[in-house]
Each structure stands twice: as C-alpha cells, then as structure tokens.
C-alpha cells in the first residue's frame, strides 16, 4: 500500500510538471440557486494519472517518495497521496488537495516540484493526464 501511495504521488508530480510555470486559474460558475463560496472556502484538488514503464516501477516509487514527503509538509497542502491501480500495476494516480489556489501556486514554485519532471521523464510511457478542480464548498457527511 505504501508503494501504491508513492507511485500515485509520483504521477501527480509528473502531471504538475507538464504545466511548467503556468498558473492554473479556475472557472467559477454562479447561479441563483447556489450560494457562491468565498475564496477562503474554496480548496483545490489535483489528480495526475501516470503510466509508468513496467521495468521502472520501483524507480518511480523511489522518486515519488521524496515528492510526497515534502509536499505533505507544505503549509497549504491538505493531502498528497499516490495510488497504484490494482488491475494494472503500471498505472498510478496522484491525488492532491490544497487549501486554495495560492497553495497550489506555492507548490508549483518549489525546487523539488520543478526537479520532479526531469527525474521521471524517462520513467513514464506517456505524458501525465492532469486535472485541477476548484472545490467551492466541502460538505462532510
């Protein structure tokens, strides 16, 4: 399970690396039937799907561990996880949650984030598939 977590983190980092220094802005939709959340309430979720070369899985996990450990220590990071597909051991996904857009921007600006892409470039089979979502309001049930 620990290996799956690390691999998932590795994937998210690869996905994030593909954005370079670009700032991702969220689209905000507002209708009369919904209350608009304040910026303080909005959090950010990122998923990064990676396809790792079969012979590079262990190397990928090793690289992802550093990213996971450092990212989880960031002030604005709520969670930074890596998961491995139980049906396809070369498929990983990073799942990240941040307090707000500023926290995402700070993460993208770190030296270890900038170094992650080049570290995994020869470990992946294809470019990462990244999704960044603004969460307007979190509801715990």
pLDDT tens digits for range 46-86: 999 999 999 999 999 999 999 999 999 999 999 999 999 99
pTM across the whole model: 0.69
**How confident is residue 23, by pLDDT bands cut at 50, 70 and 90?**
very low
Please answer whether residues 110 and 80 qualify as being in contact, where contact means their C-beta atoms are separated by less than 8 angstroms: no
**Domains by residue range for the chain, with CATH:** 2-18+41-135 (3.30.70.100)
Q: Which long-range contacts (CB under 8 A, 24 or more apart) does 33-38 make?
A: 36/136, 37/136, 37/137
Report the percent of the chain where pLDDT is more than 70.
70
Please state, in angstroms and rounded to a whole number, the distance separating the CA atoms of residues 22 and 106: 12
Q: pLDDT at residue 9 above 90?
A: no
The predicted model gives 3-22 an average pLDDT of 45
C-alpha Rg value of the chain to the nearest Å? 15
Please answer whether residues 27 and 82 qualify as being in contact, where contact means their C-beta atoms are separated by less than 8 angstroms: no
């Amino acid at each position: 399970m620990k290996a799956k977590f690390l691999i998932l983190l590795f994937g998210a980092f690869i996905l994030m690396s593909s954005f370079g220094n670009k700032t991702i802005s969220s689209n905000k939709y507002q209708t009369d039937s919904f209350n608009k959340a304040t910026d303080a309430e909005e959090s950010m979720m990122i998923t990064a799907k990676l396809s790792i070369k079969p012979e590079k899985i262990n190397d990928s996990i090793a690289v992802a561990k550093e990213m996971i450990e450092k990212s989880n220590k960031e002030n604005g990071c709520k969670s930074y996880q890596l998961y491995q597909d139980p049906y396809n051991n070369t498929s990983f996904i990073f799942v990240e949650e941040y307090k707000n857009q500023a926290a995402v921007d700070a993460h993208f600006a770190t030296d270890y984030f900038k170094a992650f892409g080049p570290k995994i470039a020869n470990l992946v089979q294809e470019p990462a598939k990244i999704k960044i979502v603004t969460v307007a309001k979190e509801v715990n049930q």
